[in-house]
Structure 1
Amino acid sequence: MEKEMMKQKFGLPPMPQIATGSAGKGRNFKRKKDYSPIYWDKYFENKHDVITASGDSFCAYECGKEGPVLFFLHGGGFSALSWALLSAEVTSMVKCRCMAVDLRGHGDTVTSDDLDLSAERMSRDVGDVLTSLYRDDPPPIILVGHSMGGAIAVHTAVQGLVPTLIGLAVIDVVEGTAMDALSSMQSFLRGRPKIFDTMEKAIEWAVRSGQIQNLQSARVSMVGQLKSLESGETGSHELEHYHGNSSDMITEEEELEQEAEDGSSSAQSPQPSGSPSPSLLSPTSAGTGCLNHRYTWRIDLSKTEKFWEGWFEGLSKKFLSCPAPKILILAGHDRLDKDLTIGQMQGKFQINLLPQCGHAVHEDLPDKVADILANFMIRQRVTEPLQHFERSIPGC
């Protein structure tokens, strides 16, 4: 009952369904799903560390060449990789750039105090990162945040920390329902697995539990939520090592194949002692051993409880007071509180509802969220469509 209430109030993952009877048996004949991790470069063009004036290092992923910047802020426990599919989608629709950052205490970001997750501190982080990135010539920026990140986006906007702010998009977070859910958050966190035997099992859990309903998105984004129990290294750093090694292996295999095509004989050019044979150089076989050990969560959210109320308290009024054009993307009607209902009736912001997804709206339906953001930018006349992109009528 408690978990069902959490789902209704805060869009938290539902309990996985267990198949029974003939329907469950029939699944044995289906092809096994691939839960292996996917590297970020299929969606982003660059990854780099942004060093702020205080010396903190924020991991950032980016794509797109021109236009306004969609600056993405992920939810609590997630990482910048949760924006991967959405970033690839929206940059194929309109002229824009995407920048996704691991917030303090998350992903591959390293700060002097990873435990300070107050709204004030993280808002300043956003301003500091933007200053380090663009100095005195920042481009037009649209802040886009999910859950906790949505709250931080609002705090950042209201404090005027983004001088070139031209838009604010908040995904599936509303003050009333968020505040109501806080009393049950510790119980929810205790109900999650604490250890995963492999990265594949973590990805499988995310999909089966409903935390991320889109398998492809889970395969790229769950990597950023984990760290190795043995080494303490983040899952994304581990995959970085594997990806580099796999690239070297593939290059070596291609060179061997090219030599064979040119008439070179393996007997005339034996492999060095101890070198792996081409049959062992595939990325799949290399990754199995590399990523098959135990993982836990990158951040222990239960230790951040003292900051929770500060994220959400007064959020609706702050959101409505922001002068920039605003959009609210929700997974259901029940998440609108009184202030937002009145604000919607007064036309103070655009609202889009995507009830066919879970709390991670942008991961479950990246194409639909990309379409919403693309149309939002076109309506505000801050960008232009690409190729055959067709504008759609905004949701209501």
Structure 2
Amino acid sequence: MSDLQKRLAKAKIDQSRSQSSSSSSSSSSSAMNRIPEIETEEEDQLGSFPPPTPDDDSSSASSVSSTGTIIPSPGRALFARPQTGSINRSSLERIPWTAYFERDLSLVSDEITHHVYLTSPVSKGVLFVLHHGAGSSGLSFCVLAQELRKRLPTAGILSLDARGHGLTTCVKGGEDLSLETLSKDLEEVLKLTRKEMGWEEMPPVVLVGHSLGGAVVTDYATREEVLGYAVLDVVEGSAMDALQSMHTYLATRPTGFASLKEGIEWHVRSRTIRNGISARSSVPGLLVETEEEGKKKWKWRTDLAATQPFWEGWFVGLSTKFLSGKGGKLLLLAGTDRLDTELTIGQMQGKYALQVFPEAGHFVHEDLPEKTAIALVDFYRRNDRSALVLPPKVSQLLAQGKRV
């Protein structure tokens, strides 16, 4: 072999080795670039927030949210597999309700003391009235309340604890969670809040209800006129079907947790709540600290199994009521796979607005608070009558001596 041939052969071998090395390096570099991506996603999910202040009232600060009423169809994957990867437990500290609301109120009536969280509207701003689902509490809407105020600074937020939930207490009748009773409670909360705050008249109201809360605000809107009402991730057909699986879900759910952090971590890992900031704000309200055999344990605050006698009554006739209620209507879902015929026809006829967030779980307002806030603010603005300039009436024109 000539010297020229030897040099050409050597050059080809060196080139081949260089390409192999480059490919390996590129593959390694690509893998390394993917690792921070995964870590970043976890950091975003758990998020960061100012630590709780030491002088917060622990009972109030821990009154947050809970498990949902409705288990979606399998395609919705609310109770999905635990996510892979580690969770930074140091970022699982509770966030107090004072980070989101101006004040909390105890509104006393004959048989019940309603507990609500309130940020007052500014000037003639709208009041968003938020009603949680079964097992939750008023602070299920913490992050949503913050996002609403970012986009509509004049808005007020009133988020209530239903009877048998949160810090609302009953002298008697606490076990009555029928739709009729809860709807009357909502009416009473609005009247007592107006009286407590000294408002001359009630601000324009937009009702927002999640799951069971959606059924409550819809029932109220069939009796009283409001600016609008929004129902979050519940329709009659899927609700009735999902109730058949409720016992299975409750049987497989942990009965309690060794610590509050463990409870928050379980909700994030199981993807019951897919937003870490919201989980840190709401999960403590799902749990109450107890002591058994000298050991502290965090158990569920609300016994969902005990509410079974009311499950069917919450949702029967919901679709018809939703379409016939007074005021603008918004249905916000995590999926349309179980949208029933009546609502499908109603949507095609333009009787209500429909928005779908397929990337969310059942707790759409906790999983995607920013998108939910944008949808609600847009919904309010479409139905806001204060900006309308109506033409003068004929009688007014005649009184002014003008020809008609």
Q: What's the TM-score once normalised by structure 1's chain length? A: 0.74
| 8 A Cα contact 1:377 1:383, kept in partner | no
Structure 2 unaligned spans of 5+ = 1-69, 388-404
2:312 to 302, 309, 316: 309
- From the superposition, tell whether residues 65 and 18 of structure 1 become closer, same or farther in structure 2 (CA, over 3 Å): closer
Q: Secondary structure at the match of 1:168?
A: strand
CA offsets 1:10-30 (integer angstroms, 9 cap, x no match) = 9573243364xxxxxxx46x8
Aligned to 1:126: 186
Structure 1 unaligned spans of 5+ = 20-26, 232-291, 385-396
> How much does 1:6 deviate?
4.7
- From the superposition, tell whether residues 224 and 10 of structure 1 become closer, same or farther in structure 2 (CA, over 3 Å): farther
- From the superposition, tell whether residues 12 and 148 of structure 1 become closer, same or farther in structure 2 (CA, over 3 Å): farther
In 1, distance between residues paired with 2:312 and 2:115? 26
> How much does 1:210 deviate?
1.2
CA offsets 1:328-355 (integer angstroms, 9 cap, x no match) = 0000121311000000000000011000
| 8 A Cα contact 1:63 1:91, kept in partner | no
Aligned to 1:86: 144
1:110 to 137, 145, 169: 169
Q: Secondary structure at the match of 2:105?
A: strand
For the pair 1:63 / 2:119, whether they are aligned, the reply is yes
> How much does 1:365 deviate?
0.5
CA offsets 1:79-138 (integer angstroms, 9 cap, x no match) = 111101001111121121100001010011101222111001100100111111114732
For the pair 1:51 / 2:108, whether they are aligned, the reply is yes
Aligned to 2:159: 100
Task: Name the % identity.
Answer: 40
For the pair 1:144 / 2:196, whether they are aligned, the reply is no
CA offsets 1:34-84 (integer angstroms, 9 cap, x no match) = 1121111111111121123x2411111112432111000001111111101
| 8 A Cα contact 1:75 1:149, kept in partner | yes
Taking the TM superposition and a 5 Å limit, the aligned residue runs for 1:216-231 are: 216-230=277-291
Aligned to 1:14: 79
In 2, distance between residues paired with 1:118 and 1:147? 14
Aligned to 1:244: none
| 8 A Cα contact 1:37 1:220, kept in partner | yes
Q: What's the TM-score once normalised by structure 2's chain length? A: 0.72
**Amino acid of the structure 1 residue aligned with 2:193:** L
> How much does 1:9 deviate?
5.9
Aligned to 2:217: 153
Looking at both structures, which has the greater relative contact order when contacts are Cα pairs under 8 Å and sequence separation is at least 6? 1
| Aligned-CA RMSD value | 2.1
2:270 to 209, 215, 221: 209
| Larger radius of gyration between Structure 1 and Structure 2 | 2
- From the superposition, tell whether residues 158 and 308 of structure 1 become closer, same or farther in structure 2 (CA, over 3 Å): same
Q: Secondary structure at the match of 1:320?
A: helix
In 2, distance between residues paired with 1:185 and 1:134? 37
CA offsets 1:255-283 (integer angstroms, 9 cap, x no match) = xxxxxxxxxxxxxxxxxxxxxxxxxxxxx
**Amino acid of the structure 1 residue aligned with 2:138:** A
| 8 A Cα contact 2:208 2:217, kept in partner | yes
Aligned to 2:362: 359
**Amino acid of the structure 2 residue aligned with 1:109:** T
Q: Secondary structure at the match of 1:334?
A: coil
**Amino acid of the structure 2 residue aligned with 1:327:** L
In 1, distance between residues paired with 2:161 and 2:90? 28
| 8 A Cα contact 2:208 2:230, kept in partner | yes
Aligned to 2:55: none
- From the superposition, tell whether residues 87 and 367 of structure 1 become closer, same or farther in structure 2 (CA, over 3 Å): same
CA offsets 1:213-233 (integer angstroms, 9 cap, x no match) = 0000000111111112239xx
Q: Secondary structure at the match of 1:329?
A: strand
**Amino acid of the structure 2 residue aligned with 1:351:** L
> How much does 1:32 deviate?
4.7
Q: Secondary structure at the match of 1:211?
A: coil
Aligned to 2:40: none
Aligned to 2:396: none
Aligned to 2:131: 73
Aligned to 1:166: 227
Q: 130-139 vs 348-357, which deviates more?
A: 130-139
In 1, distance between residues paired with 2:114 and 2:277? 25
Taking the TM superposition and a 5 Å limit, the aligned residue runs for 1:180-259 are: 180-230=241-291
| 8 A Cα contact 1:10 1:178, kept in partner | no
| 8 A Cα contact 1:146 1:173, kept in partner | yes
Aligned to 1:35: 92
- From the superposition, tell whether residues 335 and 123 of structure 1 become closer, same or farther in structure 2 (CA, over 3 Å): same
| 8 A Cα contact 1:63 1:88, kept in partner | no
**Amino acid of the structure 2 residue aligned with 1:206:** H
